[in-house]
Amino acid sequence: MLPPLMIAVAPNGARKTKRDHPALPTSAQELAATARECLEAGACMIHLHVRDKKNGHTLDPNLYEEAIRAIRKEVKDGLILQITTEAVGIYNAGEQIEVVKAVRPEAASIALREFCPDASYEKVAGEFFEWMYKERIAPQYILYDLEDLERFKGYCQKGLVPGHNHSILLVLGRYTRDQQSDPKDLDPLLKGIPEDSNWWLCAFGKNESTCMSKVAELGGHCRVGFENNLYQSTGKIAKDNSTSVKAINTIAVRKKRPIANAESAREIMGFR
């Protein structure tokens, strides 16, 4: 029996602006309103990016804390709040680590290739992963290809990644032409997924819905939203982020997957 389907929303990302879509949330209050709408649509988690005064990507702890307060006021514990540590060519691994230690969020996404670009970074990364484990901050490891997957499994075997039931996010389309995903590109990645893990997918571009349908059928979980795709399966631009979440609900019904709320998602992901 397949587990309940977890839906995360990534409503803005690091690069898009309101020029890309007027409903793209950037302020704390806009993020809070989006969180409420997406919770009502069936999301169990929101993936947070915050912006500086010039609307640029930032890992400013104060701005994260402001957004978290605003969202919690709207949704209480109804959503898992996950911050990004994405570097975007601005931040180094040490700065990425410091924002997590300063904010102490419920969850944080970690791009393995950013934290461990080579073996010389393994000791520091391993110590950070151990700290997150002890502090009960849930990591989600972002893995882009089979090489990332094999490195991740190697780190688990060496004890650099503590615990079990790891949450991993696979990514399609990030490095393809025009950032357009192809569902068949998921097949080789599935062979590398660790058995003891809950796996998610985000898919860039207009094929997002087709990719997510395959994920729902295979027992994975879905991350959707304007960070990766602005379009509906019809080819029309989505009205807002909650529209993307509602589309996954439709897929879940078709694939006979119940939708996980935040409480059940915390259990599935092994939050302690």
DSSP state of 178: G
* Integer angstrom CA distances of residue 204 from 177, 180, 229: 11, 6, 6
Over residues 222-261, the pLDDT tens digits come to 999 999 999 999 999 999 999 999 999 999 999 999 999 9
Is the confidence at residue 272, as pLDDT, over 60? no
The span from the CA of 240 to the CA of 189, in Å, is 30
Close Cβ partners of 19 (under 8 Å, ≥ 6 residues apart): none
What mean pLDDT do residues 206-229 have? 96
Close Cβ partners of 22 (under 8 Å, ≥ 6 residues apart): none
Confidence of residue 196 (pLDDT cuts 50, 70, 90): confident
What pLDDT is attached to residue 271?
Answer: 78
What mean pLDDT do residues 177-187 have? 88
Domains of the chain: 7-268 (3.20.20.70)
Identify which of 150, 222, 146, 214 has the alpha carbon closest to the alpha carbon of residue 184: 214
Q: How many CB atoms lie within 10 A of CB 107?
A: 23
What pLDDT is attached to residue 122?
Answer: 94
What mean pLDDT do residues 118-136 have? 95
User: SS3 string of 32-95?
Assistant: HHHHHHHHHHCCCEEEECEECCCCCEECCHHHHHHHHHHHHHHHCCCCEEEEECCCCCCCCHHH
Mean pLDDT of the chain: 95
Identify which of 82, 24, 95, 85 has the alpha carbon closest to the alpha carbon of residue 57: 85
